[in-house]
């Protein structure tokens, strides 16, 4: 999420550090942070580890009228080459815990894959479909991450959120109005702090082999060295299709997008809905390539693709 506020005449670095605490980083390079490995710096970057810290940082950003953007693992972001003129708040709340027989508590800052491995270690099934999805638990909840017909919303029981006034609240899954790669959080701007997930009892070896199988399938379809953000565009709802979605990748392939390049950005040869940074791409290259892909699909099929990747800053 991003909150666009008119920036007040800016405070000096030391004044900002006094306001947000000594953990505040100035002019933080985001190229190493995002999986696209592109983008300019964030003027301010703060890693927070609890609901209280999230709440305090939101209140301070509001008082100082600084635009704020919440981040997790940076695996679904296209950051402008000009960077972000505000504060990025990285939610790094940790904790993985078995609750009773089949519930798992996870902090929003845990890797999604760590949660999947933890469930397997405890012989709990329900999240194997998400194996190999990058990023953190908070980011996965925000965008209702999913694959192979499953979505993280399917197993959410309770979530702790902080709203834009800094209030902490607990809600159930219905509150979040989950949809395909969508949740209410995209509109309410509330921040995920932690969640309780409901699994089913399973057999460890079966769960492990499912995870391995999905990771192996992904390894064949995704760029091995990363430098992408997964699917760039959302699939199109279509009840006639498997999982109820017409894959955007199929339309892009049929529109002849494989092999298209702009600067260092390229449509991945094995999956037309993935843009890869071949090493020297800028975010602007990626955006221009995405526009060409969109145009080709629109011309051939009359369908306007919608971005799954979240764009930050000016393009």
Give catalytic residues, as residue numbers: 181, 231, 308
Q: Is 72 in the site for ligand FAD (CB under 6 A)?
A: yes
The answer to whether residue 67 forms part of the interface with ligand FAD (CB under 6 A) is: no
Regarding 294 and contact with ligand FAD (CB under 6 A), the answer is no
Q: Which stretch binds ligand FAD (CB under 6 A): 11-19, 80-88, 206-214, 225-233?
A: 225-233
Q: Could you say whether residue 89 binds ligand FAD (CB under 6 A)?
A: no
Among 39, 41, 107, 139, binds ligand FAD (CB under 6 A): 139
Least Cβ distance, residue 160 to ligand FAD (angstroms): 10
Count of residues of this chain found to bind ligand FAD when the rule CB under 6 A is applied:
32
Determine which residue in the list 40, 41, 74, 249 makes contact with ligand FAD, applying CB under 6 A: 74
Per residue, what are the HEC states of the chain? CEECCCCCCCCCHHHHHHHHCCCCEEEECCCCCCCCCCCCCEEEEEEECCHHHHHHHHHHHHHCCCCEEEECCCCCEEECCCCEEEEEEEECCCCEEEECCCEEEEECCCEHHHHHHHHHHCCEECCHHHCCCCCEHHHHHHCCCEECCEEHHHHEEEEEEECCCCCEEEEEHHHHCCECCECCHHHHCCEEEEEEEECEECCHHHHHHHHHHHHHHHHHHCCCCCCCCCECECCEECCCCHHHEECHHHHHHHCCCCCCEECCEEECCCCCCEEEECCCCCHHHHHHHHHHHHHHHHHHHCCCCCECCEEECCC
Q: How far is the CB of 176 from ligand FAD (least distance, A)?
A: 11
Which residue lies nearer to ligand FAD by CB, 39 or 202? 39
- Please tell me whether residue 113 binds ligand FAD under the rule CB under 6 A: no
Pick from 87, 113, 147, 214 the residue near ligand FAD by CB under 6 A. Answer: 147
Binding mask 179-218 for ligand FAD (x = CB under 6 A): ------x-----xx--------------------------
If one asks whether residue 159 binds ligand FAD (CB under 6 A), the answer comes out as no
249 binds ligand FAD (CB under 6 A): no
- Beta-carbon count within 10 A of 299 CB: 9
- Contacting residues toward ligand FAD, per CB under 6 A: 1, 35, 70-77, 91, 108, 133-136, 138-140, 142-143, 145-147, 185, 191-192, 222, 228-230, 310
């Amino acid at each position: 999420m991003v909150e666009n506020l008119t920036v007040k005449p800016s405070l000096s670095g030391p004044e900002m550090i006094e306001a947000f605490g000594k953990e505040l980083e100035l002019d933080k390079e985001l190229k190493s942070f995002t999986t696209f490995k592109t983008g300019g710096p964030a003027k301010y970057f703060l890693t927070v580890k609890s609901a209280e810290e999230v709440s305090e940082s939101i209140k301070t950003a509001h008082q100082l009228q600084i635009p704020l953007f919440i981040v997790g693992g940076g695996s679904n972001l296209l950051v402008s080459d000009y960077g972000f003129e505000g504060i990025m708040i990285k939610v790094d709340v940790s904790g993985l815990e078995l609750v009773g027989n089949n519930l798992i508590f996870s902090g929003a800052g845990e890797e999604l894959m760590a949660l999947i491995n933890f469930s397997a270690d405890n012989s709990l099934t329900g999240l194997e479909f998400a194996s190999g999805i990058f990023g953190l638990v908070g980011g996965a909840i925000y965008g209702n991450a999913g694959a192979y017909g499953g979505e993280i919303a399917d197993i959410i029981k309770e979530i702790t959120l902080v709203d834009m006034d800094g209030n902490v609240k607990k809600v159930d899954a219905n509150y979040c109005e989950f949809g395909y790669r969508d949740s209410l959080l995209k509109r309410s701007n509330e921040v995920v702090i932690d969640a309780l997930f409901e699994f089913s009892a399973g057999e460890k070896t079966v769960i492990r082999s499912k995870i391995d199988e999905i990771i192996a399938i992904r390894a064949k379809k995704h760029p091995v060295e990363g430098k992408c953000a997964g699917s760039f565009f959302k699939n199109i709802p279509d009840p006639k299709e498997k999982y109820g979605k017409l894959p955007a990748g199929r339309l892009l392939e049929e529109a002849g997008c494989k092999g298209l390049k702009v600067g260092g950005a390229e449509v991945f040869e094995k999956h037309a809905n993935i843009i890869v940074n071949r090493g020297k791409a800028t975010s602007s290259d990626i955006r221009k390539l995405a526009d060409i892909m969109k145009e080709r699909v629109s011309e051939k099929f009359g369908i306007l693709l919608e971005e799954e990747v979240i764009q930050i800053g000016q393009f």
